[in-house]
């Protein structure tokens, strides 16, 4: 994946003086008479472009999990803008847009080996946050309906609303059981009227291993919850801070059995973990393959396309097995003029949040067609190799410590590294300003985070441009330099 890309910029961040200058030139008041397109264009080029960060354009921006944008995806995205399709109703005789979306979603399923005839509810969203909202909304509908049916009554949230449906189903409480979740799960819970407090973590060994389910605790919670509590189980399939996976094949199977027995919904947040499924089956990737291997047992999966799929913002993916539930929740009622003429492709407006929608399928389609399975595998293996190279360097260094402490209890195991490397400086003064010092070089960018109450930093390797040799050289130079600066100051 290196055909036709523009050269990557030297710095990952604009200089502080450039930001000040650009801010000074920002128009903050509406001009009574427009400047005209040419002048506006000059303004954007001169004042905006140099004051933006290179989160997508540089392979050495390792903050968040930002991903990049391939040449094929950028070309397609510009076409999306130019043609400005509104992809909400399937209009097969008027535009091919919904058929392209359906084909892209079929190919996504094929890429990650999920059967599209089973995963009938497939749609593009604005990101994994929106996909988590879809997942919890479908879950909420399903578990209340199931609880009602088990009592021989009927209830559904989509028509009655949450309160009446819960009362009818005899449900007092809805809870979401998970291990360390992404913050967006609580946000989704809040939006859907379940509340942040409904998200409960059930982790093995408490704080030392907040990534794996404590099955005994989970099982007991489900037993004692009885018939008055409805449950959504949410699996963090590669947690954003550590890259670790909440389950393995065996745990997924046990979660599925428990969920079915107790009428719970099994949701997976696989924002970037989903692509671990495309890795070849060999010893190097056993942990990752196992962590993402049994996702077909879930009811719904949230994923991002603007991360490891390397399309421009914004684009997420949502998959669920329950098309009927989706249609109940998202049906756009009482607008017969929006009904689609044929039912082969569901109209996107009836299975997701938006009515009017961007043609965000096209960059995904372009990437899949341009690079194929081998291109995606090659890209991901390169990213993992770089992450493992960084992890090995940190593990061997005296100045830095690889986190989580799991690695130090069990010894560093390179297999557990996916695309995230979490670490801190051994010297606590240095650690307190580690993120600032690294990012002030403007050569690389890392995210600041915390680990067990202490500051930490993390690399997230997610750009198609990643180059193991070149990038690692720069990373090593920066980390060595930052460590040496702290030694010199102390001496």
Which chain residues interact with ligand PLP by CB under 6 A? 65, 127-129, 182, 184, 240, 269, 271-272, 304, 316
- Measured from the Cβ of residue 288, the count of other Cβ atoms closer than 10 Å reads 24
Cβ proximity to ligand PLP, 134 vs 483, nearer residue: 134
Cβ proximity to ligand PLP, 156 vs 269, nearer residue: 269
Closest contact distance (angstroms) between CB of 304 and ligand PLP is 5
Closest contact distance (angstroms) between CB of 347 and ligand PLP is 24
Closest contact distance (angstroms) between CB of 352 and ligand PLP is 14
Cα distances (Å, whole numbers) of residue 458 to 37, 297, 352, 423, 454: 42, 31, 33, 6, 13
Q: Which residues of 320-336 are buried (b: 16+ CB within 10 A; e: fewer)?
A: bbbbebbebbbeeeeee
Cis peptide before 314 (omega within 30 of 0): yes
Cβ proximity to ligand PLP, 243 vs 348, nearer residue: 243
Closest contact distance (angstroms) between CB of 68 and ligand PLP is 14
Cβ proximity to ligand PLP, 70 vs 180, nearer residue: 180
Is-contact 275 367, C-beta < 8 A?
no
Cβ proximity to ligand PLP, 101 vs 269, nearer residue: 269
Cβ proximity to ligand PLP, 99 vs 248, nearer residue: 248
Closest contact distance (angstroms) between CB of 91 and ligand PLP is 29
Calpha distance 439→68 (Å, rounded): 19
Closest contact distance (angstroms) between CB of 171 and ligand PLP is 27
Closest contact distance (angstroms) between CB of 128 and ligand PLP is 3
Q: Which residues of 366-399 are buried (b: 16+ CB within 10 A; e: fewer)?
A: bbbebbeeebbbebbbbbbbbbbbbbebbbebeb
Cβ proximity to ligand PLP, 166 vs 353, nearer residue: 353
Is-contact 445 12, C-beta < 8 A?
yes
Pairing, β 265-269 against β 300-304: parallel
Cβ proximity to ligand PLP, 198 vs 347, nearer residue: 198
Residue nearest to ligand PLP (CB): 127
Tokens 């990038």 belong to 471
Closest contact distance (angstroms) between CB of 11 and ligand PLP is 24
Cβ proximity to ligand PLP, 131 vs 347, nearer residue: 131
Cβ proximity to ligand PLP, 317 vs 362, nearer residue: 317
Closest contact distance (angstroms) between CB of 36 and ligand PLP is 36
Closest contact distance (angstroms) between CB of 131 and ligand PLP is 8
Cβ proximity to ligand PLP, 184 vs 367, nearer residue: 184
Closest contact distance (angstroms) between CB of 312 and ligand PLP is 12
Calpha distance 148→164 (Å, rounded): 12
Cβ proximity to ligand PLP, 58 vs 184, nearer residue: 184
Closest contact distance (angstroms) between CB of 443 and ligand PLP is 24
């Amino acid at each position: 994946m290196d055909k036709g890309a523009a050269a990557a910029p030297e710095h990952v961040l604009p200089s502080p003086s450039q930001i000040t200058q650009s801010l000074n030139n920002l128009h903050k008041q509406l001009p009574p008479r427009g400047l005209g397109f040419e002048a506006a264009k000059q303004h954007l080029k001169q004042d905006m472009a140099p004051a933006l960060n290179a989160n997508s354009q540089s392979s050495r921006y390792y903050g968040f999990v930002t991903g990049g944008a391939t040449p094929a995806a950028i070309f397609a995205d510009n076409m999306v803008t130019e043609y400005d399709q509104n992809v909400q109703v399937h209009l097969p005789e008027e535009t091919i847009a919904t058929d392209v979306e359906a084909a892209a979603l079929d190919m996504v399923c094929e890429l990650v080996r999920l059967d599209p005839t089973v995963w009938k509810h497939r749609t593009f969203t604005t990101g994994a946050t929106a996909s988590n909202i879809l997942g919890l909304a479908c879950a909420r509908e399903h578990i209340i309906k199931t609880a009602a049916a088990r009592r021989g009554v009927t209830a559904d949230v989509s028509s009655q609303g949450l309160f009446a449906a819960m009362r009818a189903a005899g449900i007092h409480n809805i809870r979401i059981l998970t291990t360390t979740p992404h913050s967006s799960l609580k946000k989704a819970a809040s939006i859907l009227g379940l509340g942040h407090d409904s998200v409960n973590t059930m982790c093995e060994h408490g704080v030392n291993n907040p990534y794996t389910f404590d099955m005994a605790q989970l099982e007991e919670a489900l037993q004692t919850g009885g018939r008055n509590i409805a449950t959504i189980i949410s699996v963090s399939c590669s947690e954003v801070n550590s890259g670790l996976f909440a389950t393995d094949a065996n745990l997924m199977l046990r979660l599925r059995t428990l969920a079915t027995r107790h009428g719970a919904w099994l949701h997976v947040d696989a924002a970037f973990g989903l692509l671990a499924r495309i890795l070849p089956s060999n010893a190097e990737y056993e942990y990752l393959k196992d962590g993402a291997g049994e996702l077909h047992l879930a009811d719904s999966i949230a994923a991002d396309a603007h991360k490891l799929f390397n399309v421009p913002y914004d684009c997420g993916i949502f998959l669920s097995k329950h098309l009927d539930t989706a249609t109940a929740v998202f049906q756009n009622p009482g607008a017969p003029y929006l009904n689609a003429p044929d039912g082969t492709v569901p109209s996107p407006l009836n299975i997701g949040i938006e009515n009017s929608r961007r043609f965000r399928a096209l960059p995904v389609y372009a990437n899949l067609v341009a690079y194929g399975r081998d291109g995606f595998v090659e890209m991901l293996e390169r990213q993992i190799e770089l992450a493992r190279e960084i992890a090995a360097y940190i593990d061997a260094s005296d100045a830095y410590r690889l986190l989580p402490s799991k690695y130090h209890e069990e010894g560093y195991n390179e297999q557990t590294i996916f695309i995230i490397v979490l670490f801190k400086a051994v010297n606590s003064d240095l650690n307190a300003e580690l993120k600032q010092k690294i990012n002030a070089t403007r050569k690389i960018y890392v995210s600041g985070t915390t680990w067990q109450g202490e500051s930490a930093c993390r690399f997230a390797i997610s750009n198609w441009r990643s180059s193991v040799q070149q990038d690692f050289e720069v990373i090593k130079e920066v980390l060595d330099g930052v460590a040496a600066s702290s030694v010199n100051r102390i001496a």
